[in-house]
Structure 1
Amino acid sequence: MISALRGTVLSVSGGMLVLDVGGVGFAVSVTARHALTLRQGTETTVLTSLIVREDSLSLFGFPDQESLEVFTLLIGVTGVGPKSALGVLAELTPSEVALAVARDDDAAFRKVGGIGPKTAKLIVVSLTGKLTAAHAAAASSSGPTAGPSQLVRDNVERALVGLGWPERNAAAAVDEALETASETDAGNVQSLLRLALAVLGPAPHAGGAR
């Protein structure tokens, strides 16, 4: 079982990451949200799920344990394959999945390609009571006007560090961006990253930071 990979990003396009691990290139399917945080030539670690089929071996990669846990739960639901499960995580963060389940909101899953009304309802029923305590807490305390999830902040800060900024600068930029961000932008990795980049200005040259 391949549970994690650490290596250099050879390429990342759309939902496919190619990671060089000891001279071997591993093709890993990721969400567009995750892909946005990756840059060619940088080193990264992805948590992985290896899906074995009669005619193929497929790797699906995640930036954190929460996303991997939700993916594992989703593929355990009848009618939900790994591509559909990844599609859910492309649309919803783990906390948003928990919130939808807690609210019995199957509509949140129907907007994912390949998931129909019956399967969406089955996801809600199947995941009830199975999410981690952290997800359950987020679901019970969050609402449409809640602040950005820690996952969104972490992903944006990780992306900024990967681009060359010190962790302190990255965290400060995210804080400043959140001061003016709308609720929608604050809860979206791509939007928040764009705002933080505007705060920081041009990317530092490699090796320029001390």
Structure 2
Amino acid sequence: MIAQLTGKPAALGPNWVVLDVGGVGFRVQCTPVTAAGLRPSESATLATSLIVRQEALTLYGFASASERDVFELLQVASGVGPRIALAALSVLTPDQLARAIQAEDLAALTKVPGIGRKGAEKIVVELRDRVASLVTEPDDRPRVASLADEPWRAQVSAGLQGLGWSQRDAEQACDRVAALVDDDPDVSLATLMKAALQSLARV
């Protein structure tokens, strides 16, 4: 299993990166916040999880090992696949997910696109006794690039739609965080993505 990769981003998308590791390009799916924190000129290390399916091998990357561990644990629950697990980590931190499951906080879990009330109940029942073993780490996300000349709105919108929100919801979230760019033109894409996700979670 590929548990970690270190290299420079050769290409970046709203929720993926091609990481150049010794001349070999690994395409890695990741959360929009993780993708936004990568810079083509700087080496980065991602904790990874390889999902093997009959039709494809897909590599998922995370800013910390704790995120990867939660990603893998969530998929133990019935009906939760990689896409929903990745969306959950885009909306909630590993700590927040663990607390929501332990506290049976269905409202928090249903903020994740793709998780309804019944799905949240299954997650609580099946994982409640297992989340206590999760040990989170300090936030060691890669350093984030400036937005001075970047099309932030398109990147944030694409990242949100990639997680399951509609184009309308994504555009409205962009409208709600636009003031952050007005206040600080150098605000990071990761900060904008977090703010947009938080605004959607409150809706």
TM-score over 0.5 for the pair:
yes
Identity among equivalent positions (%) equals 39
Task: Give the drift of 1:134.
Answer: 6.1
- Range moving further from structure 2, 43-52 or 112-121: 112-121
Q: Which residue identity does 1:190 align to in structure 2?
A: T
Q: What SS class does the counterpart of residue 143 from structure 2 fall into? A: helix
Change (3 A) 1:41 1:133: same
Asked whether 1:159 is paired with 2:143, we answer yes
Q: Deviations over 1:15-64 (max 9, x none)?
A: 01110011111110000111121111211111111101111000011111
Change (3 A) 1:134 1:84: closer
Task: Give the drift of 1:150.
Answer: 4.2
Asked whether 1:108 is paired with 2:108, we answer yes
Distance 1:192 1:32 in 2: 7
Q: Deviations over 1:155-199 (max 9, x none)?
A: 3xx416x88xxxxxxxxxxxxxxxxxxxxxxxxx616999xxxxx
Larger radius of gyration: 1
Task: Give the drift of 1:131.
Answer: 2.1
Residue 49 of structure 2 corresponds to 49
The residue correspondences of 1:22-171 to structure 2 (distance < 5 A) are 22-133=22-133, 135=135, 150-151=138-139, 154-155=140-141, 158-159=142-143
Give runs of ≥4 in structure 1 deviating > 4 Å: 132-135, 191-194
Q: TM-score, normalised by structure 1?
A: 0.65
Q: Deviations over 1:70-116 (max 9, x none)?
A: 01110111100001100000000001101211221022121222222
Q: What SS class does the counterpart of residue 131 from structure 2 fall into? A: coil
Which runs of 5 or more structure 2 residues have no equivalent in the other structure? 147-189, 196-203
Coordinate RMSD, CA, aligned: 2.5
Asked whether 1:190 is paired with 2:191, we answer yes
Residue 16 of structure 1 corresponds to 16
Which runs of 5 or more structure 1 residues have no equivalent in the other structure? 139-148, 164-188, 195-210
Q: What SS class does the counterpart of residue 40 from structure 1 fall into? A: coil
Q: Answer whether contact 1:29 1:60 (CA < 8 A) is retained.
A: yes
Q: Answer whether contact 1:106 1:123 (CA < 8 A) is retained.
A: no
